[in-house]
Amino acid sequence: DAGVIQSPRHEVTEMGQEVTLRCKPISGHNSLFWYRQTMMRGLELLIYFNNNVPIDDSGMPEDRFSAKMPNASFSTLKIQPSEPRDSAVYFCASSIDGKGEKLFFGSGTQLSVL
Amino acid sequence: RKEVEQDPGPFNVPEGATVAFNCTYSNSASQSFFWYRQDCRKEPKLLMSVYSSGNEDGRFTAQLNRASQYISLLIRDSKLSDSATYLCVVRLGRANNLFFGTGTRLTVIP
């Protein structure tokens, strides 16, 4: 199994630009999570989906952030417009059960907003 | 108050040493507990779950103290390859939400 696949690995953009992060969960996993990691705040849950349906998006910082999961094998996290304070590592994770107890993380996207 | 708190370290220990990390959680309704390991510039990976009765996996021992709301991880006979950041993770009730601590950094020195 290829594991959770994220793209791009690195993204450098200018303030105000739109950023789209992509994730392909492990086949057969029915839960997908988007996390953001910074030195100061650690790993924070942004949103999670169960069976492609958003269940909890209370962690999404503000309206500039949106996430979609059009099918079981693909999800996107979009930031529009991006700001320097969005700079972080964004991880996608999936789990086979509805409890998310054992998460499999992708390699992450290092986002730098200049 | 943060859901999960850890001493960030760093802990610098010689090879072969025994090292222990503690983690405290704020919500007494927390039901599941885990330790994840994260190598530098890599993704977190599940190290072990923490059961009420305590559990051991080779050189690693995890314990839970519900009365005091803390979780511990003990590493015996430290190896250079144990150098990483160890994340304490707590799940509340049936929610699909895992709360991660900010991690404790361990460096094992030759």
Buried b (16+ CB within 10 A) or exposed e, A60-95: beeeebebebeebeebebebeebeeebbbbbbbbbb
User: Measured at the alpha carbon of residue B10, what is the angle toward residues B17 and B43, in degrees to the nearest 5?
Assistant: 100
Q: What is the mean pLDDT of chain A?
A: 93
User: Least CA distance to B93: which residue of chain A?
Assistant: A99
The pLDDT of residue B51 is 85
DSSP B81: G
The minimum CA-CA distance between B16 and chain A, rounded to whole Å, is 29
**Digitized pLDDT (tens) for each residue of chain B, 110 residues in all:** 788 999 888 999 999 999 999 999 998 888 889 999 999 999 999 999 998 888 999 999 999 999 999 999 999 999 999 999 999 999 876 556 788 999 999 999 99
Instruction: Place A87 in a pLDDT band, splitting at 50, 70 and 90.
Output: very high
SS3 B52: coil
The pLDDT of residue A107 is 97
Window 50-69 of B: residues touching A by CB (8 A cutoff) are none
A92, A101, A102: best to mutate for the B interface, most B CBs within 10 A: A101
Radius of gyration of chain B from its Cα atoms, rounded to whole angstroms: 13
pLDDT digits (tens, 9 = 90+) for A8-47: 999 999 999 999 999 999 999 999 999 999 988 889 999 9
The pLDDT of residue A40 is 85
